[in-house]
Amino acid sequence: MSSIAVIGGTGMNRWPGLAVERGHEVETPYGAPSALLIEGTVYGVRALFLARHGEGHRFPPHAINYRANLWALRDLGVRSVVAIAAVGGIADWFAPGEVAIPDDVIDYTYGREHTYADGREGSALAHVDFTRPYAPRLRTALIDGARAAGVVPAGDGVLAVTQGPRLESPAEVRRLRRDGADMVGMTGMPEAALAAELGIEYACLAVSVNWAAGVMGLGDIHAEIERSIEDGMTKVRAILSHALPALAAADATA
C-alpha cells in the first residue's frame, strides 16, 4: 500500500497515466468517501488517488464528505496528501493557466462537517495546531518538482476557501483581497484541517483557471476556465512526475 495520495478536483477527476491496480471501497464512521480509492503506479511510484467530487463530478463543494475522504485515506496507510485545486486568481501575479503552492489559508465556509472533534460519543477534544496548514516538507517537494520539470510556479500565497457552488461577486473578491487572499477556491477547507487532525501531511497544488470576478474585467468566466484548465493540469502532472518519486524515495529511507 502507498503512503502517498493525490486528491484530484476540477480538471483532474481522473489521473491520466495512473496504471490502476485496484479500487478500495472503504466504509468509515462518517459514511462513504466520494469515490473508490484507486491504487496504482505512476511515475514509477505506488500511489492512491481519490476523486474529490466523485464519479461524474457529482458532489458540489459544500456536499463533499471531507471527513470520510480523509479518514479512508488514513485507514489505507496514507501519510502524505497532495491536493489539486482549481482556483480563481486574485493576485495580479496569478494568471489563468499558472500554478501556485499556497502557504496559508483563510476559511470562509459554513455548515460543513469540519472536525472529528465534534463532541459525539467517542470523539476526543482536540485543538489542532494550524500554524502551518500546508506541510513544509511536501511544499518543498512540490517546489523542487516544479523546478525539475521546468515549471515556474507563479508563487505561494494565501488561499481563500468559499462555500460555493456559485462563484463570488466582485465585491466579495475585493473583500478577499483586502483580507490578504491571493486566490480563491471552494474545496481546500475543511480538507486541510481534517488532515491535520489525523496527523496526515497535506499540501495544495493550486491551478488558476480564471481571474476571480472583477479582477481583470468582466469577461466570460466559464470560457476562461475552458481555455485555462488543461494548460494548468499539464503543469500539475509535470510537477507530480518529479515530486512524487522524490517523496517516495524519502519515505523509503525514513
Grid coordinates given for 201: 501531511
The answer to whether the peptide bond before residue 165 is cis (omega within 30 degrees of 0) is: yes
Give dist(CA 249, CA 178) in Å, integer: 41
- One digit per residue, the tens of pLDDT, for the chain of length 254 reads 579 999 997 767 677 778 889 999 999 999 999 999 999 999 989 999 999 999 888 999 999 999 999 999 999 999 999 999 999 999 999 999 999 999 999 999 999 999 998 877 667 778 899 999 999 999 999 999 999 999 999 989 999 999 999 999 999 999 999 999 999 999 999 999 999 999 999 999 999 999 998 888 666 777 777 778 888 889 999 999 999 999 998 877 76
DSSP code for 141: H
Helix 66-75 and helix 191-198, axial crossing angle in degrees, nearest 10: 30
Grid coordinates given for 60: 458540489
- Radius of gyration of the chain from Cα atoms? 17
- Host H or E run for residue 140: helix 136-149
- CA within 13 Å, CB half, 21: 10
Q: Which residues pair with 155 in a beta bridge?
A: 100
* 210 contacts: CB under 8 Å, gap ≥ 6: 88, 89, 96, 221, 224, 225, 228
Quote the pLDDT of residue 163.
97
235, 234, 231, 213: which is closest to 222 by C-alpha?
Answer: 213
**Distances in whole angstroms, Cα of residue 249 to Cα of each of 92, 148, 200:** 36, 16, 18
Domains and CATH numbers, the chain: 4-115+132-253 (3.40.50.1580)
Query: 110, exposed or middle or buried, with CB in 10 Å at 0-12, 13-18, 19+?
Result: exposed
Quote the pLDDT of residue 10.
74
Summarize pLDDT for 197-239 with one digit per residue, the tens. 999 999 999 999 999 988 886 667 777 777 788 888 899 999 9
Q: pTM (2 decimals)?
A: 0.93
Task: For strands 99-100 and 80-89, give the pairing.
Answer: unpaired
Quote the pLDDT of residue 187.
96
